[in-house]
Amino acid sequence: MMFRIPVITGLGLVTPLGASVEETWSALLKGRAIETHAKAALAEEGSRARVDQLAIAAATEAFEHARWMAHSTDSRTALIVGTSKGAVTSWITPPPHITSLPYIAGGLNVCGVASTAMEVGRALGLSDGPRLTMSAACASGLNALIRAAMMIRSGEVDRALVVAAEASVHPLFSGSFKRLGVLPAEGELCRPLDRARSGFFISEAAAAVCLEARTVDPESECDALTARRPFAIVDRFALGGDATHITGSDPSGQPLRRILRDVAGFRQSSATPLRPIIHVMLSSGSPAETQQIDLIHAHATGTEFNDSIELAAYGDECTAGENAPLIYSHKGALGHSLGASGLVSVVLNCLSHRTGTVPGNVRTTQPLTSNQVRISTEVQRQVIRRSIAVAAGFGGAIAAVSLRSP
């Protein structure tokens, strides 16, 4: 029996610190960081919605990395998009008292959150393959990746382009988040996993990954890998739902802990139902095959309530062996790109696997205390064999994905 395992062969990234993977990665290693809500480093052009421009730029870069142009119209290639709001700033009807041009929709032909997939498919020449849009608040990007990995494992497709994009730097959302108390105090910066944290900055971003099927025959121990060396193998993944509160999570972190147990694979998950959780576990691998986790890319938004709950869960559920995993959050440097943030984390984890380098948590000057994990403010040089990326969103959506080096 042949097993199909998804591997990542191409990466794309557009953030406030760079219009490509290389530009963003270089900026992170140099310790650069945004200082307020920030748009991505991509000039406005054409009549397309801003979010669609970002998505197309990231998807095009990933295609070029993977050398996929020959497969661009293949019916065995899927397009899966993750976004929490799509081209929302193009549909918003301005309040009567606001008449200045930046707030007025420009007559774009949009069709809800699905417009981004439509525009990416058109720009890259994708015509016959499956096309889906996943919208799960700030877990949208990881939900899209997980859905694509499932399609590859099941044999539904041979390749999948996964894109996550968000362009919601708008007064409506900054005002709403301010009222919720999740933005930094006046004059403060975003400091994930820091004792002085007070909230996050909203930012634009788009990330893309190309997935391909790796076939494995366990009886003959024969691998049929892609022609190019992958950035990483999608190892295990899990989805969860926290029904505790519409904008708040369980104070004990039970839903997060449950999916971390599934993704880390060190402990068998309890069969006892947990009341606040609507839980679905979808994973590959087995506890006997799992490696120690070297890197955890935390959701870590820099909010007072969230980060300490996350840190405790990572320490309890993701540690095994003598070496404590590194904890990293890109939100101090890049801001919180909402539905795109989870896939941004995956792209950065892939680069850590490839280069043996983890950026520092540049804004975290007083790290929260933990004896089980490491929070570094400086760039770390370390072999990354296995990593985890986590994302969570309002409404209770939680997702986690582990990657392994090929």
Q: Give, for all 406 residues of the chain, the pLDDT tens digit.
A: 568 899 999 999 999 999 999 999 999 999 999 999 999 998 877 788 999 999 999 999 999 999 987 666 688 999 999 999 988 887 776 555 555 545 444 444 446 788 899 999 999 998 788 999 999 999 999 999 999 999 999 999 999 999 999 999 988 899 999 998 899 988 899 999 999 999 999 999 999 999 999 887 655 555 555 556 899 999 999 998 887 777 677 777 888 999 999 999 876 544 444 444 444 444 554 444 568 999 999 999 998 888 999 999 999 998 876 789 999 999 999 999 999 999 999 999 999 999 999 999 999 999 999 888 999 999 999 999 999 999 998 877 999 999 999 9
Instruction: Classify residue 324: in a domain, yes or no.
Output: yes
Q: How far is CA 72 from each of CA 63, 79, 80, 92, 230, rounded to the nearest angstrom?
A: 9, 10, 14, 33, 19
Find the domain containing 85 and state its range.
3-215
Same domain, 247 and 389: yes
Distance of CA 269 to the CA centre of its chain: 24
The domain boundary, picked from 150, 182, 215, lies at 215
Number of domains within the chain? 2
Instruction: Classify residue 133: in a domain, yes or no.
Output: yes
Q: Cβ neighbours of residue 234 under 8 Å, at least 6 residues apart?
A: 5, 6, 7, 8, 145, 149, 211, 284, 401, 403
Same domain, 187 and 295: no
Distance of CA 256 to the CA centre of its chain: 16
- pTM of structure: 0.90
The domain boundary, picked from 182, 215, 248, lies at 215
Same domain, 96 and 174: yes
Q: How far is CA 350 from each of CA 67, 82, 210, 216, rounded to the nearest angstrom?
A: 17, 19, 12, 22
Same domain, 185 and 264: no
Gap between the Cα atoms of 140 and 338, Å rounded: 8
Same domain, 318 and 387: yes
Q: What is the CATH number of the domain that holds 184?
A: 3.40.47.10
Same domain, 80 and 183: yes
Same domain, 252 and 351: yes
Instruction: Classify residue 73: in a domain, yes or no.
Output: yes
Both tokens assigned to 197: 């944290």
Same domain, 101 and 134: yes
Same domain, 88 and 122: yes
Q: What does the pLDDT read at residue 180?
A: 87
Gap between the Cα atoms of 203 and 103, Å rounded: 18
Q: Cβ neighbours of residue 207 under 8 Å, at least 6 residues apart?
A: 11, 12, 13, 14, 58, 141, 163, 164, 165, 340, 343, 344, 346, 347
The domain boundary, picked from 160, 186, 215, lies at 215
Q: Is 214 exposed, middle or buried (0-12, 13-18, 19+ CB in 10 A)?
A: buried
Instruction: Classify residue 225: in a domain, yes or no.
Output: no
Instruction: Classify residue 221: in a domain, yes or no.
Output: no
Same domain, 107 and 56: yes
Instruction: Classify residue 43: in a domain, yes or no.
Output: yes
Q: What is the DSSP string of 243-285?
A: -S-SS---TT-HHHHHHHHHHH-SSPPP-S--TTEEEEE---S
Contact 249, 255 (CB under 8 A): yes
Instruction: Classify residue 103: in a domain, yes or no.
Output: yes
| Strand, helix or coil for residue 163 | strand
Same domain, 56 and 194: yes
Same domain, 241 and 209: no
Backbone dihedral region for residue 216 (phi beyond 0: left; psi -120 to 50: alpha; all else: beta): beta
Q: What does the pLDDT read at residue 319?
A: 85
Q: What does the pLDDT read at residue 1?
A: 56
Instruction: Classify residue 278: in a domain, yes or no.
Output: yes
Q: Is 221 exposed, middle or buried (0-12, 13-18, 19+ CB in 10 A)?
A: exposed
Query: Comparing C-alpha atoms, which of 17, 51, 48 is closest to residue 338?
Result: 51
CA triple 131-133-138, angle to 5 deg? 150
| Strand, helix or coil for residue 168 | coil
